[in-house]
């Protein structure tokens, strides 16, 4: 491979990296702790919300949970929440497009939810999907934890 081609490839990679969505990441110890997948306290439930893949890598998806907790998720990032059981409304937003669903949190259990960007006719949208534990844990292991607001 010639030096000119290598320079072009490296320049393109640097441009792609510079355009990636920037979100506030949690401390590496918090990330490692969450990836142990320890169960929640006996009276609480836990929820992992993650975004996988590269679609829409330049724009973060805003995620909010009823009760005031919110975070921006870049590709391959996640957040972990723990709290009292019950139904919560989980919403995602990109631009003026919104998606969401209600998630039932059960005491002593952990749920996993993927938020993803969708392709729209005029603008991107987002959707929320609950996933099995094995799929959610695999995605979280490959991701980085973000800081949430309001927790």
The pLDDT of residue 22 is: 77
Q: What is the mean pLDDT of each run of 10 residues along the chain (151 residues)?
A: 36 36 86 96 95 72 88 93 93 88 95 87 81 97 88 55
User: In whole angstroms, how far apart are CA 44 and each of 106, 114, 132?
Assistant: 7, 21, 19
pLDDT attached to residue 151: 55
Identify the architecture of domain 21-145 in CATH.
Sandwich (2.60)
Per-domain boundaries in the chain: 21-145
Q: CB burial class (10 A; 0-12, 13-18, 19+) of residue 96? A: exposed
Query: Hey, what's the torsion of the CAs at 33, 35, 39, 43, to 10 degrees?
Result: 60
What is the layout of strands, in order, in the sheet containing 110-118?
125-131, 110-118, 45-51, 77-83, 144-145
Q: Please tell me the distance from the alpha carbon of residue 6 to that of residue 95, in angstroms, as a whole number.
A: 36
pLDDT value at position 6? 32
The answer to whether 40 and 46 have CB atoms below 8 angstroms apart is yes
Q: What pLDDT score was predicted for residue 24?
A: 85
Task: Note the pLDDT of residue 94.
Answer: 85
25: its two tokens: 């990441």
């Amino acid at each position: 491979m010639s030096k000119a081609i290598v320079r072009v490839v490296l320049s393109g990679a640097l441009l792609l990296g510079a355009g990636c969505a920037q979100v506030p990441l949690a401390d590496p110890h918090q990330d490692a702790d969450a990836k142990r997948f320890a169960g929640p306290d006996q009276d609480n439930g836990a929820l992992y919300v993650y975004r996988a893949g590269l679609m829409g890598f330049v724009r973060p998806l805003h995620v909010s949970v009823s009760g005031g907790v919110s975070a921006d998720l870049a590709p391959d990032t996640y957040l972990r929440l723990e709290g009292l059981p019950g139904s919560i409304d989980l919403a995602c937003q990109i631009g003026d497009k919104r998606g969401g669903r209600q998630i039932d949190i059960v005491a002593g259990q952990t749920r996993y939810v993927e938020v993803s960007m969708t392709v729209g006719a005029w603008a991107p949208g987002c959707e929320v999907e609950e996933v099995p534990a094995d799929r959610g844990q695999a995605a979280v292991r490959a991701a980085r934890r973000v800081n949430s607001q309001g927790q």
